[in-house]
Amino acid sequence: MILASQSPRRKEILSDFGFKIKVKVKEIEEKSNKKTIIEQIEDIANQKSEIIAKENINEYVLAADTVVVLGEEILGKPKTKEKAEEMLNKLSGKMHQVITGYSLINKKKNLKIIGHDITNVHMKKILENELKWYIETEDSLDKAGGYGIQGKAAIFIDKIEGDFFNVMGFPLSAFVEQLRKQNFDINKIINL
């Protein structure tokens, strides 16, 4: 299977499950004209998989897009420490949602599976000295919402409702459930 993502976390999740992964990516403008956040995220994931699938028609191509949503605000990937600190201050002491949209395409088999998963994340109140320490580790950069649940930011998480792997970057359980609905058996799933 081709993973149309440079995310080491997605590759790790899928590889650990047993998928044989090749990574191929092309830059796209991650924008969508769809109305709802969920539709936008699924659309961006689909754009990522489509561009790779067109050049690899015999292959299964999987792409995903993960965002952190606080109320109606989408918190993307901070590029600077200052932006990460700003995002984490917004999330501190609050519940937010992590939404991942995914798209699996195989052009030759005329297969397209698009879906998403939502996990509620309850974050503790982050103390100022802990936030400064975390920001200096640079673990916050280039992660949706400015944190990675599987890393040092785990100390900020009070509880989650939903799939841990969705927060990490790929909703494995929801994805495999979608494949089951398409009558993929487990051996077929692993050998995509």
In Å, how far from its chain's centre is CA 166?
A: 6
As to burial, measured by CB atoms within 10 angstroms (0-12 exposed, 13-18 middle, 19+ buried), residue 61 is buried
Phi and psi of 16, rounded to 5°?
A: -60, -30
Question: Which of these is catalytic: 43, 65, 117, 163?
Answer: 65
Show Cβ contacts of residue 170 under 8 Å, excluding neighbours closer than 6 positions. Answer: 7, 9, 10, 13, 14, 64, 66, 100, 102
Q: Is 65 designated active site?
A: yes
Do the Cβ atoms of 131 and 85 come closer than 8 Å? Answer: yes
Rg (CA), the chain: 17
* Distance of alpha carbon 69 from alpha carbon 10, whole angstroms: 19
Q: Coil, strand or helix: which one is 158?
A: strand
Cβ within 8 Å of residue 29, ≥6 positions away: none
Residues classed as catalytic:
65
